[in-house]
Amino acid sequence: MISHAPQAFIFDMDGVLLTTRPLHVEAWQKTFDEFSHHWPAMAPFPPYDSTRDYEVYLDGRPRQDGIHHFLKARGKCSSEQDLAASLTWISLRKNEIFNQLVSLRGVAAFDDVLPFLKELRSRGFKLGLVTSSQNAPALLKSTCLDSWFDVVLDGNVALALGLHGKPCPDVFIEMARQLGTTPWRAVVLEDASAGIHAARAAGIGMIVAVIRDHANQQILAAGADHVIRELRQFDLQTLGILDMNIRQNLSRHPFFSDLAPGDIDTLCDCAMLKTFAEGEKMSITGQPAEHFYLILSGRVVVRMTVPGGSSQDIQTLQNGDIVGWSWLFAPYRWNYDVTATESTQTISFDATCLRHRCDMDPRLGYVLVKRFAQLMNTRLRAARLRLLGSNTNSKGHVG
């Protein structure tokens, strides 16, 4: 599971967004059949098997890298000259056959693609496309997807930048850089084992294997975090990505919304998502206060120990409430027990990180002390009213 809120989604193209995978499979089979017929002395043996060899050697890789990988595995090219000649012929012929099949049969985006892209856009995520294909611009334009991505890094761009293709991590690292994020704050959706390995090597935060109409055993073994058959199965809430653009949440929350953009950046740098299961403790009285939390969904109960050793429920907090002020004031220990009464999604802020940032920027420290002092006052008032048996319904923020 991704540990920090993702800022970007990065897609493969063939088989994830577009219906091109069967055309690639067929084009490779026809190409190797022709190659074996015209150059029997250099023909691979055993013969090319589209069921196995496509997934193992070709799927997801740059075209010439895949051919080289396959021919070397078969050991049929005795010299570098033979290998170079074979690479050139197979590469050009495969692309020619593929484009013929595209013209003959057409290509479309899967019907779940546009709704998914629209949902991600509406939530403020950046969108990138990483593909080894050198036909990407034409294919994206023909399927009306060319305007949906903030950055497209295809085989042509990778070649121009001198990047190694999948399964090397270069393309995903560069894509994250161009999107203005880091690999661990990105989600990758791939349908090839080479892409899964590349994403893993790049340090991508979440890797989702998309297996639509094929049982790719290679990708199952590659170690994706999740496997789905359709994009509509990618449930943002189930996977812990519901409305989890941290910057977006902070910018519209009244406690944070009027902070300077640089202060929001600091908070985002010290933030990550954390989900508490029903019954799980968010804080324990007397334990180090190492975090504070903004509740995105769910509910928690705040309890304090009263004379005699019994505990008293002080407040119930839910979506939009802030939990925690003890992190900001020495000795940095919790004054309450806080327990999730249902599954609760939060943004968790690292206290050590924020205290260090406040030491570096006293102005930010002053701003936060003022705001959390107000929350402390609200908490004390709520506790007093509850302990006095008041029926006043006071909702506030606690620590």
Q: Are residues 272 and 347 in the same domain?
A: yes
Contact at 8 Å (CB) between 244 and 1? no
Catalogue the long-range contacts made by 138-147 (C-beta closer than 8 Å, 24 or more residues apart): 139/13, 139/18, 139/20, 139/102, 139/107, 140/13, 142/107, 143/17, 143/18, 143/107, 143/108, 143/109, 144/109, 145/17, 145/18, 145/109, 145/113, 145/117
Q: Are residues 69 and 143 in the same domain?
A: no
Helices (H), the chain: 21-38, 53, 63-74, 80-105, 113-122, 136-142, 155-161, 170-179, 193-202, 217-222, 246-252, 261-269, 351-360, 362-387
Q: Which of these three, 90, 105, 120, is where a domain ends?
A: 105
Q: Which of these three, 105, 120, 145, is where a domain ends?
A: 105
CA 182 to chain centre: 10
186 token code pair: 């990105």
174: in domain: yes
Name residues of the chain where pLDDT drops below 50. 1, 3, 242-243, 390-396, 398
pLDDT value at residue 217:
59
Contact at 8 Å (CB) between 137 and 157? no
Q: What angle do CA 259, 353, 324 make, to 5 degrees?
A: 70
**Looking at the 3D structure of the chain, how many domains does it have?**
3
pLDDT value at residue 308:
67
Q: Which of these three, 105, 130, 155, is where a domain ends?
A: 105
CATH number at residue 115: 3.40.50.1000
Q: Are residues 55 and 176 in the same domain?
A: no
Q: What is the DSSP letter of 47?
A: P
pLDDT value at residue 399:
52
What is the C-alpha to C-alpha distance for residues 341 and 306, in angstroms, rounded to an integer? 21
In this structure, what is the dihedral angle of CA atoms 109, 186, 128, 11, given to the nearest 10 degrees? -30
Q: Are residues 269 and 314 in the same domain?
A: yes
Say if pTM beats, i.e. exceeds, 0.75: no
Residue span of the structural domain in which 273 resides: 254-387
Q: CA nearest 354: which of 280, 250, 276, 206?
A: 250
Q: Are residues 152 and 207 in the same domain?
A: yes
354 CB-near residues (< 8 Å, 6+ apart): 266, 267, 270, 327, 368
pLDDT value at residue 396:
47
Q: Are residues 14 and 25 in the same domain?
A: no
67 token code pair: 């051919």
Q: Are residues 175 and 296 in the same domain?
A: no
Q: Are residues 277 and 342 in the same domain?
A: yes
- Written as one letter, the residue type at 359 is D
pLDDT value at residue 381:
77
pLDDT value at residue 243:
42
